[in-house]
Amino acid sequence: MPLEPPSFGHASLESTALALSGFELQVDRFRGGDRAHVLLLHGLGGNAVTWHGVAPLLAAELEAQVLTLDLPGFGRSRTSGRRVDFRTLALVVRRVLQSEAPSGTRWVLAGNSLGGALALDVACRAPELVAAVSLTALALPLAWGRNLRGLAALSSWLPAALPWIGRRLISRYMIKTGLPGVVDEPIQALFGDPRRLDAGLRERLLDVSQYRLSWAREAACAYEQVTRSLGVELLRASGVERSVREVRCPVQALHGSRDPIFPAAAWLELEQRRPDWQHVTLPDIGHVPQLEAPREVAAHLLDWLRALAA
């Protein structure tokens, strides 16, 4: 489903399809120049539009090509029944980096939640492709900052990850809720203040979600598979915890003070484990900072990249 190509100041938007790793991926490319290459990755259940408030600002200020990607099974990128999980998505991200810039290019990656975990994984496994990583509300190891009661509270997320059961529950929810609920209900749950959502971005989210509802069962299957595999990555020591420990490129970590998924103690543990990273707390912001406060996120990311360049 193509998006209309509006102009964003000095950056234009072009929506294209990429055939990579057996998928047809939908990519939005913001063109501000060729001085840098940036890839922005959405979170679980999200899509490329969640970065549309940030991408044109980065493209114009950095004179860069900035890509926002619909991962397979999300947004406008269908799976055609193929299995998807965390490893599949990480491989897709690597293929995009290799195919969408000249050989030898080192990218700036920015990712929200699941997208942040993918960015860290790629930076560890293919460091020659990555110059720096910015994380917005990274999906953290589930045991960090939680007592037994806190871990038990996560059980509400378990049904979505159960084989065969999860996809039925998710599909039923999508079809029953419809529009605008499938957009507005997650915003209510994940934002610090839902009133901050830009009306134009909401309309674009509705457009993408309307298309995704036309293949709700396929989308639900992908959501179930990715949820289960992400949970494994967040539970085992060789998953996201390893990536946090081993990544060597410069990293920025942004999180909202009103994140409803990860407690303040978890962010404190991240800061203690990687004091060499730049850590930024965004007051009163929830779990999708790039959508709730895009200008603030872009400003922090640009200031950090300028400091690295200096």
**C-alpha span between 286 and 54 (Å, rounded):** 16
pLDDT over 60 at 6, yes or no: no
- Residue 255: band (very low, low, confident or very high) from pLDDT cuts 50, 70, 90: very high
pTM of the model: 0.95
Distance, in Å, from the CA atom of 293 to the CA atom of 291, rounded to the nearest integer, reads 6
d(CA 246, CA 34): 30
Q: What is the pLDDT of residues 169-210, one digit of tens each?
A: 999 999 999 999 999 999 999 999 999 999 999 999 999 999
pLDDT digits (tens, 9 = 90+) for 217-245: 999 999 999 999 999 999 999 999 999 99
What tokens were used for 91? 């491989």
